[in-house]
Amino acid sequence: AFRVRDPGLAKNFVQGDDKLQRYLINILARNDTAKIGVKYLVEWKYDPDEFPDIRERVEKKAIRWLTGHSGKTWEECEELVAEHPRLLAYYVEELDYNSQPEKAKRVMEQYRVSHLVRPDVVAGLESVDAEIEIPKEDLFAPEDETCLTLALSRDHVQVVSSEEDIEKAALLLEAPIIGLDGEWCPTLTKFTEDAPALLQVSSHTDAFLFDLIALKESQKFNDFIKQLFTNNKIIK
């Protein structure tokens, strides 16, 4: 069973035995079975850091897909992984592999991830000259800037980051129609699951930006959102 011609059979065999479960995950750390190993790792609620081989294979595969098959530019790929140092390191290695040493050196130095990049790649980039660039624009901004026009004046756009601020958003409970949007970091692998960070709720007169990180422990916020979303008189 542990030659893993049938991972499902192997899983049934080791189920409930911590030592054997860990052993199975480790031997699934191959290109053709890593995805299954990650599935078991998550299901059995293990810490991914305890399985560096399978984590590395899955994250490198995610970077290869992102840079080679997603249709995004290199710059867009960089922005997507900018909050994840390990993915940034693999991105640097992919840049180097694709004969873009200047970009690789710049990303490695700008995000300070040289300690995570393979030593041979770091050594090969030592003689490369690269200036650190500061992005001048949002690469994911809409191409038609007319859609960025805000119909509301700035004093009708408010940030809600405390329980005291929630009182201001009570106006939404009287609105006939509200629009919703959310913001969060992209999830590229099962190891980078990021919860929404910002909830935007707007009526035709007011817009409120709810800081979900600041309000995550607030029962008052949970009650307000439940009241808003379960109100059948409000079109959403």
Q: In the 8-state DSSP scheme, what is residue 135?
A: -
- Residue 171: CB atoms within 10 A of its CB come to 14
Mean pLDDT of the chain: 87
- Residue 144: CB atoms within 10 A of its CB come to 7
- Residue 18: CB atoms within 10 A of its CB come to 10
Apex 227 CA angle, 221 and 228, nearest 5: 90
**To which H or E segment does residue 72 belong?**
none
Q: Looking at the predicted structure, is the pLDDT value of residue 224 above 80?
A: yes
pLDDT digits (tens, 9 = 90+) for 146-187: 555 557 777 888 999 999 999 999 999 999 999 999 887 777
pTM over 0.75: no
Q: Looking at the predicted structure, is the pLDDT value of residue 72 above 70?
A: yes
C-alpha neighbours within 13 Å on the C-beta side of residue 80:
20
pLDDT of residue 231: 94
Q: Determine the average pLDDT of the residues in 85-109.
A: 94
Q: Looking at the predicted structure, is the pLDDT value of residue 3 above 60?
A: no
pLDDT of residue 130: 79
Instruction: Look at the block and give the residue holding tokens 């008189």.
Output: 233
